[in-house]
């Protein structure tokens, strides 16, 4: 029974929040005249003492006492006696654990937000540095149109900004205090729930006691936001892995973020990126795990809900490591602008620019222009040359009105520079966007 029942092995991580919640509860009980001022003083001193002991690592948790709440309370009673026995007045472990866990998740959201901001700043810095560095843009991982490396990096800044805003939404919805809902029905004592809510930094108390003790939406929403964020990090990690591979070599990572092989001396493996990609599995797993735990539970509390914590801790730990690793790699990576540029010019990447020229300068309908361009790409392919190296006479066989002016549109520089409509990859746009992000993330 103890092996399956005890949660202290993982919920010890709630010790700070548990003490914080108990301090607020005791002070409210005293101010409402439910316990005496001297009992409250003894409780506060005791809780502060145990907090110091846990922080110093000198406290031993007892698995026979099931969880962090009982461990702390039992120690308090052993230390201060009778007064300690009064702490649990008008409270249950059900509202206590919901409160502690909300506080923990709220702290995790705040810490994640700081980390994400850091990663965004690193990306914006590198984007500013490489605002004009031309690389191939892909669809289907096939060369599509030239873009700039800075533009590519800023795409992730946009994703991470949405991730932060999802976390902020989650924090906002989470921020109501369950403390005082007691076991499930509320309490007969004249407590002041607004007072404890305020002391703990909540916006207000929760309105329904049954909901208060059985709600784990906040944890599920946190895991959802983390999952979407992890999906973004995983895509970026995948790109880093592609970019450092021998056929690409768009970037290089230093020894700080790569490992060697035990047999192949030339290897420089992107393990940090691979692990960030892999840790996504834990985060998605945690989300599905907690959704599954909750989906069949009748109101109000059931012990199933104790399984919420490991999932959240595990996901938060994985997210913390992954964001840190990605931030480190973004700061560390060396972009090879020459390799990127060479690849950007290959594979007829400016074919769309040619079609746009036929529309803009010669007045062809776009579908016709698309067809003419297709013929020219085939002609270049048959000769094994780039579009820009096709003789004008050959171009004119496909469309007689083409003039020398066409060649100006076929360079990759012209291609990116021309994409200056809002949101496009033109280096001037990218430099401006990067500077704005740098400014707002300062």
Residues identified as active-site:
140, 261
- By beta-carbon proximity to ligand ARG, the closer residue of 310 and 361 is 310
DSSP secondary structure string for all residues of 122-143? HHHHHHHHTTT-EEEEEETTEE
Q: CA–CA distance from 332 to each of 174, 284, 319, 325 (Å)?
A: 36, 28, 20, 10
Residue 243: Cβ within 10 Å count: 23
- By beta-carbon proximity to ligand ARG, the closer residue of 17 and 356 is 17
Distance separating alpha carbons of residues 429 and 421, to the nearest angstrom? 8
Distance separating alpha carbons of residues 341 and 146, to the nearest angstrom? 9
7 contacts ligand ARG (rule: CB under 6 A): yes
202 contacts ligand ARG (rule: CB under 6 A): no
Contact 315, 286 (CB under 8 A): yes
CB of 82 to ligand ARG, least distance (A): 24
Among 97, 105, 294, 426, binds ligand ARG (CB under 6 A): 97
Distance separating alpha carbons of residues 351 and 415, to the nearest angstrom? 10
Q: Judged by CB under 6 A, which stretch of 193-201, 243-251, 302-310, 420-428 contacts ligand ARG?
A: 302-310
Sequence-separated (6 or more) residues with CB below 8 Å from residue 364:
358, 372, 399
Among 20, 22, 27, 94, binds ligand ARG (CB under 6 A): 94
Distance separating alpha carbons of residues 46 and 84, to the nearest angstrom? 8
* 138 CB burial (10 A radius; 0-12, 13-18, 19+): middle
CB of 290 to ligand ARG, least distance (A): 13
Q: Which residues within the stretch 13-72 sit at the binding site for ligand ARG (CB under 6 A)?
A: 67
Contact 253, 270 (CB under 8 A): yes
177 contacts ligand ARG (rule: CB under 6 A): no
CB of 200 to ligand ARG, least distance (A): 18
CB of 20 to ligand ARG, least distance (A): 17
306 contacts ligand ARG (rule: CB under 6 A): yes
100 contacts ligand ARG (rule: CB under 6 A): no
Q: Judged by CB under 6 A, which stretch of 153-161, 216-224, 300-308, 316-324 contacts ligand ARG?
A: 300-308
Sequence-separated (6 or more) residues with CB below 8 Å from residue 185:
209, 210
CB of 308 to ligand ARG, least distance (A): 7
Q: Which residues within the stretch 139-168 sit at the binding site for ligand ARG (CB under 6 A)?
A: none
Q: What are phi and psi of 386, to 5 degrees?
A: -80, 160
182 contacts ligand ARG (rule: CB under 6 A): no
Within 245-307, where are the H helices? 271-294
- By beta-carbon proximity to ligand ARG, the closer residue of 12 and 284 is 12
415 contacts ligand ARG (rule: CB under 6 A): no
293 contacts ligand ARG (rule: CB under 6 A): no
Q: Judged by CB under 6 A, which stretch of 45-53, 268-276, 298-306, 407-415 contacts ligand ARG?
A: 298-306
> Going along 256-348, which residue ranges are E strands?
334-335
Among 25, 86, 91, 93, binds ligand ARG (CB under 6 A): 93
Q: CA–CA distance from 73 to each of 45, 66, 384 (Å)?
A: 13, 12, 79
CB of 214 to ligand ARG, least distance (A): 11
Residues that bind ligand ARG (CB under 6 A): 7, 11, 67, 93-94, 97, 301, 303, 305-306
């Amino acid at each position: 029974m103890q092996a399956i029942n005890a949660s202290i092995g993982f919920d010890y991580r709630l010790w700070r929040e548990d003490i914080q919640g108990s301090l607020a509860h005791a002070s409210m009980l005293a101010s409402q005249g439910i316990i005496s001022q001297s009992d409250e003083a003894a409780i506060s001193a005791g809780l502060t003492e145990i907090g110091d002991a846990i922080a110093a690592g000198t406290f031993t948790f007892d698995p026979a006492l099931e969880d962090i709440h009982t461990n702390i309370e039992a120690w308090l009673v052993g230390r201060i006696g009778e007064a300690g026995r009064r702490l649990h007045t008008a409270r249950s472990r059900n509202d206590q654990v919901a409160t502690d866990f909300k506080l923990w998740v709220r702290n995790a959201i705040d810490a994640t937000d700081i980390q994400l901001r850091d990663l965004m700043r690193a990306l914006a810095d590198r984007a500013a540095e490489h605002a004009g560095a031309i690389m191939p843009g892909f669809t289907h991982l096939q060369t599509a149109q030239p873009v700039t490396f800075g533009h590519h990096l800023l795409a992730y800044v946009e994703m991470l900004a949405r991730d932060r805003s999802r976390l902020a939404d989650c924090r906002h919805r989470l921020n109501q205090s369950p403390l005082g809902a007691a076991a499930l029905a509320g309490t007969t004592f004249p407590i002041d729930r607004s007072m404890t809510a305020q002391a703990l930094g909540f916006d207000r108390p929760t309105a329904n006691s049954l909901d208060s003790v059985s709600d784990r939406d906040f944890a599920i929403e946190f895991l959802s936001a983390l999952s979407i964020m992890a999906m973004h990090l995983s895509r970026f990690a995948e790109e880093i892995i592609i970019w450092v591979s021998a056929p690409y070599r768009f970037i290089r990572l230093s020894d700080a973020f790569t490992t060697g092989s035990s047999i192949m001396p030339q290897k420089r493996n992107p393990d940090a990126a691979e692990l960030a990609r892999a840790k996504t599995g834990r985060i998605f797993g945690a989300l599905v795990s907690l959704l599954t735990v909750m989906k069949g539970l009748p109101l109000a509390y059931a012990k199933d809900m104790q399984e919420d914590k490991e999932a959240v801790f595990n996901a938060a730990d994985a997210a913390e490591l992954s964001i840190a690793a990605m931030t480190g790699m973004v700061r560390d990576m060396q972009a090879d602008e020459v390799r990127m540029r060479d690849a950007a010019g290959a594979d007829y990447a400016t074919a769309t620019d040619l079609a746009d020229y036929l529309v803009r300068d010669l007045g062809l309908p776009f579908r016709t222009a698309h067809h003419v361009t297709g013929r020219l790409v085939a002609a270049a392919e048959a000769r094994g040359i780039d579009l820009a190296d096709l003789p004008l006479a050959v171009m004119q066989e496909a469309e007689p009105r083409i003039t020398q002016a066409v060649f100006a549109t076929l360079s990759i520089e012209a291609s990116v520079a021309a994409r200056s409509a809002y949101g496009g990859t033109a280096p001037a746009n990218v430099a401006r966007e990067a500077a704005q992000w740098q400014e707002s993330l300062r």
